[in-house]
Amino acid sequence: MQIILGPGSSDPELIDADDFKDFRVVAHGAPDALSLAASTAQIGRAEGAEHVFVTVPALCRMAGIRAEQSAWRADLERMLDVAQRHGWVDAHGAVRAH
């Protein structure tokens, strides 16, 4: 599952929404921490220039109709459980992507 951040203010795009084993954010260009923070404001928050904490509601919003499917939600919950065990979920429930 990848979240693609385009240049400027374009909306983030979720691709490979059924791949729960490779959760990442891809920012086009070479963003510094400040521009990454601005680009990720719609989906969560940046932590430096290496990681992004993505909120679950933003992830579901980007997934669209898939987020209404019980199988997809179950896979998402499994991904979040694994992330929680590894310390990749913040105090607000957002999950860390790399």
Q: Per-residue pLDDT tens for 6-49?
A: 765 578 899 999 999 999 998 876 566 667 777 788 899 988 77
Bridge partners of 54?
44, 95
pTM: 0.88
Q: Taking every pair of C-alpha atoms in the chain, what is the biggest distance, in angstroms? A: 38
Q: Which residues contact 64 (CB under 8 A, 6 or more apart)?
A: none
Sheet bearing 44-47, strands edge to edge: 44-47, 51-54, 95-97
